[in-house]
């Protein structure tokens, strides 16, 4: 059975993915900056700032899933925080690449997260495909540099997969926890789109990336349903039985409170899921209402 090494394994996605992989019989281990006695998976230390990684982490590893990265929406975007967001992604990928290259690890695949922020924080009539150019804002630049660092694995003749992920819906935290406020409201004018995916569909995509070799290159990891913030909020209020009052979060207030970071919630465009569908992927949660009912 293949052995999977996961960076960011203790995070929202990594934790669920580790469980699902383990339940399928895969041997799972994690890379972490600290020891955690409560972690039920073998954990190896790495330090991105100093360029250290425990060599034994790579022993018998056949696939690496790279999920590490500072949370984009965790803190206000100061210049320091922007550097943390960028460096946590690019430097960690470079550390993995240099280690795999130096140790000549015969990986079957390197599978990594990116984000739909690649296309920029904008609202437009365009439906973005994987072949479109990156946005010209901060997140577009981060994702472009992030993906370039990931694609270096192709130079080692390692099958490389990148999933540009939208809003991940989970009952264990993340965006959905922040949305379930006592009163549900749309954000700004509510016309921005919210590309989303249920966490189990996302994890299944990663598993497909491991098991099926036709997965190679870049894929948008989002539901096929295009939904605006206004409609999303109304469905959320219905499923979780909370009152919906529109337009309680105006743009000017959010920009004042959040600064530049407000762009990621005030804007959003439609993202195409056609490529993963053509690869044969079938969504378990095809619409938001079904997804939220499952997570209730």
Model confidence pLDDT, tens digit, residues 69-119: 999 988 899 999 999 999 999 999 999 999 999 999 999 999 999 999 999
Provide the pLDDT for residue 140. Answer: 96
The structure's pTM equals 0.95
Q: What whole-number percentage of the chain has pLDDT above 90? A: 82
CA distance 193 to 125: 10
| 78 within 8 A of 30, measured Cβ to Cβ | no
For the chain, domains (ranges, CATH) are 3-295 (3.40.50.720)
CA distance 135 to 147: 13
User: pLDDT by residue (tens digit) across 196-253?
Assistant: 999 999 999 999 999 999 999 999 999 999 999 999 999 999 999 999 988 777 777 7
Q: What is the mean pLDDT of the chain?
A: 93
Q: At 39, is the secondary structure helix, strand, or coil?
A: coil
* Residue 145 parent element (H or E): helix 138-151
Provide the pLDDT for residue 35. Answer: 76
Q: For residue 46, report the phi and psi dihedrals to the nearest 5 degrees.
A: -145, 155
**pLDDT classification of 39: cutoffs 50, 70, 90:** confident
CB atoms within 10 A of CB 75: 13
Provide the pLDDT for residue 292. Answer: 97
Q: Is the pLDDT of residue 65 over 80?
A: yes
Q: What whole-number percentage of the chain has pLDDT above 70? A: 98
């Amino acid at each position: 059975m293949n052995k999977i090494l996961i960076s960011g394994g203790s995070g929202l996605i990594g934790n669920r993915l580790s469980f699902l992989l383990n339940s399928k019989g895969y041997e799972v281990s994690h890379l972490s900056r600290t020891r955690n006695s409560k972690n039920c998976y073998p954990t190896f230390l790495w330090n991105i700032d100093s360029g250290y990684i425990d060599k034994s982490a790579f022993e018998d590893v056949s696939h690496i899933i790279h999920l590490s990265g500072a949370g984009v929406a965790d803190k206000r975007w100061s210049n320091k925080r922007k550097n943390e967001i960028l460096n946590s992604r690019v430097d960690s990928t470079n550390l993995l690449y240099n280690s795999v290259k130096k140790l000549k690890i015969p990986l079957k695949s390197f599978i990594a997260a990116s984000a739909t922020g690649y296309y920029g924080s904008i609202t437009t009539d365009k439906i973005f495909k994987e072949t479109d150019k990156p946005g010209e804002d901060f997140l577009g630049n981060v994702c472009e540099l992030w993906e370039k660092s990931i694609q270096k694995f192709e130079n080692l003749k390692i099958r490389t997969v990148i999933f540009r992920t939208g809003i991940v819906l989970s009952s264990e935290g993340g965006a959905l926890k922040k949305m379930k406020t006592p009163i549900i409201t749309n954000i700004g004018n509510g016309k921005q789109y919210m590309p989303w995916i249920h966490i189990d569909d996302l994890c299944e995509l990663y598993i497909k990336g491991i098991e099926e070799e036709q997965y190679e290159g870049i894929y948008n990891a989002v539901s096929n349903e295009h939904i605006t913030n206004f409609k999303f909020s109304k469905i959320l209020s219905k499923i979780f039985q909370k009152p919906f009052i529109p337009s309680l979060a105006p743009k000017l207030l959010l920009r004042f409170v959040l600064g530049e970071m407000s762009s990621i919630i005030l804007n959003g465009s439609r993202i195409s899921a056609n490529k993963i569908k053509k690869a044969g992927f079938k969504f378990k949660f095809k619409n938001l209402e079904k997804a939220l009912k499952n997570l209730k």
